């Protein structure tokens, strides 16, 4: 290791992880960032945070992920983090129909509070507990189709599809930016130019100054 390379990022996306309590949101995030399963996790209080730089289609995207508490009593705290989210992982537990049934509410909340253009990927978590499954893949994918969501079944335990969920969501957002559907400059888009992009786009003078600074190190 020795020298850690700090990647210059092209974009910064604000992400949300939402869904009922106990569906494994924090575990998904933990698995995504730390590449390990968080044993015997506890309920999130309010909102927690994680960030990671991923490479999507040659672009370095920094994900700023807000992991919200699923419990109702934190709803007022968590809702305030919805605004300006570019992407969201909507998580349910495939072994609990109850968490699946709540999806509509979560979806409404997200579309209403975040932005109309928010890119949401539906994650049926706990894929590893197939024996206790209460929600079939088909049923969930139909729901996803109807609501224009991407869909994956994930396992925070094994790590299956965890990275994919975040990457797919980020890729979709990038596509939307490229197609002009999303405008990063617009306020509350949940998208910012990263430091790399900033240097080229916004302030060439500043970029020069900084690169000079870096050479000195």
Partner 1 sequence: MPVRCHVKSLQICDQVTGGVLAMQKIKSLMTRQGPKSPQDSIHDLSPVENFRIPSKEELRDLREQATDPQAEQELINSIEEIYFSNDSFDVVQYELEKLPPVLSLQEMEEYRDRLKRQQAAVSKKVADLILEKQPSYVKELERVTSLQTSLQLAAVICTNGRRHLNAAKEGFTQASLGLLANQRKRQLLIGLLKSLRTIKTLQRTDVRLSEMLEEEDYPGAIQLCLECQKAASTFKHYSCISELNSKLQDTLEQIEEQLDVALSKICKNFDVAHYTKVQQAYRLLGKTQTAMDQLHMHFTQAIHNTVFQVVLGYVELCAGNTDTKFQKLPYKDLCMHITSESYIPCLTDLCKALWEVMLSYFRTMDWHEKHDQEEVPSSSDSNNVPATENNFDRSYIKKKLEHGLTRIWQEVQLKVKTYLLGTDMSNFKYDDFIFVLDIISRLMQVGEEFCGSKSEVLQESIRKQSVNYFKNYHRTRLEELRMFLENETWELCPVKSSFSILQLHEFKCLGQSRSPSMSPSKQVSSADSASLSLFDQYSSGGNPFEIQAAMKDDETEDVLASNGYESDEPEKSAYQEYDSDSDVPEELKGDYIDEQTGDAPTKSVSRETLRSRKRSDYNLNKVNATILTNTTLNVIRLVGKYMQMMTILKPIAFDVIHCMSQLFDYYLYAVYTFFGRNDAHESSGLGLSSSRLRTTLNRIQESLIDLEVNGENPGSLASSEEKKQKVPSPHLSQLVILTSSNTLFGLAERVVATESLVFLAEQFEFLQTHLDSVMPAAKKPFLQQFYSQTVSTASEIRKPIYWIVAAKAIEYEQTLLIMGNVKWDVKEIMSQHNVYVDSLLKEFEQFNKKLSELTKHVRIPLPVSNILWEHCIRLANRTLVEGYANVKKCSNEGRALMQLDFQQFLMKLEKLTDIRPIPDKEYVETYIKAYYLTENDMERWIKEHREYSTKQLANLVNVCLGSHINKKARQKLLSAIDDLDRPKR
Closest CA to 37 of 143, 170, 128: 128
Among 43, 142, 186, 200, binds partner 1 (CB under 8 A): 43
Q: Restricting to residues 105-164, name those near partner 1 by CB under 8 A.
A: none
When binding is defined by CB under 8 A, the residue of 99, 115, 168, 192 that contacts partner 1 is 99
Among 58, 179, 215, 216, binds partner 1 (CB under 8 A): 216
98 near partner 1, rule: CB under 8 A: yes
- Binding residue for partner 1 (CB under 8 A) from 93, 122, 127, 191? 93
Q: What is the DSSP track for 7-75?
A: PPPSEEEEEEEEESTTS-HHHHHHHHHHSS--TT--PPPSEEEEEEEEEETTEEEEEEEEEE--SGGGH
> Positive or negative CA dihedral for 174, 180, 181, 186?
positive
Length of the chain: 217
| 3-class state of residue 8 by DSSP | coil
Which of the 8 DSSP states describes residue 46? S
Give helix 162-178 / helix 25-34 axis angle, nearest 10°: 80
**Residue 215 touching partner 1 (CB under 8 A):** no
DSSP state, 203?
-
Minimal distance, residue 175 CB to partner 1, in Å: 26
Nearest approach, Cβ of 212 to partner 1 (angstroms)?
A: 9
Residues 48/67, Cβ–Cβ less than 8 Å = yes
State which residue, 78 or 168, has the beta carbon closest to partner 1. 78
The residue assigned the tokens 């992407």 is 87
Tell which one of 58, 146, 179, 205 touches partner 1 (CB under 8 A): 205
Q: Are 90 and 18 in contact (CB under 8 A)?
A: yes
State which of positions 160-199 bind partner 1 (CB under 8 A): 187-188
Tell me whether residue 5 is exposed, middle or buried, using C-beta atoms within 10 angstroms of its C-beta: 0 to 12, 13 to 18, 19 or more: exposed
Binding of partner 1 by 22 (CB under 8 A): yes
List 3, 131, 146, 148, residue binding partner 1 (CB under 8 A): 3
Closest distance of CB 1 from partner 1, Å: 4
Which of 7, 8, 52, 71 touches partner 1 by CB under 8 A?
A: 71
| Contact set with partner 1 (CB under 8 A) | 1-4, 20-22, 34, 38-47, 49, 64, 66, 70-74, 76-77, 80-81, 83-84, 93, 95-99, 101-102, 187-188, 203, 205-206, 209, 213, 216-217
């Amino acid at each position: 290791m020795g020298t850690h390379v700090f990647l210059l990022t092209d974009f910064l996306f604000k992400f949300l992880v939402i869904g009922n309590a106990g569906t494994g949101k924090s575990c998904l995030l933990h698995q995504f960032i730390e590449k390990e399963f968080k044993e015997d996790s506890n309920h999130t209080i309010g909102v927690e945070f994680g960030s990671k730089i991923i490479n999507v289609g040659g672009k370095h995207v920094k994900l700023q992920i807000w992991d919200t508490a699923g419990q109702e009593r934190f709803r007022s705290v968590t809702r305030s983090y919805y605004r300006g989210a570019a992407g969201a992982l909507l998580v349910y537990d495939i072994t609990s129909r109850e968490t699946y049934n709540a999806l509509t509410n979560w979806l409404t909340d997200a579309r209403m509070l975040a932005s109309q253009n928010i890119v949401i990927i539906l994650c049926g978590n706990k894929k590893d507990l197939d024996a206790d499954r209460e929600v079939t893949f088909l049923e969930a994918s139909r729901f996803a189709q109807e609501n224009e969501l991407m869909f994956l079944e994930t396992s925070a335990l094994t790590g299956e599809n965890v990275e994919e969920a975040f990457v797919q969501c980020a890729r979709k957002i990038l596509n939307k930016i490229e197609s002009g559907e999303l405008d990063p400059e617009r306020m509350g888009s949940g998208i910012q130019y990263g430091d790399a992009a900033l240097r080229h786009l916004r302030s060439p003078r500043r970029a020069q100054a900084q690169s000079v600074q870096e050479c000195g190190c």
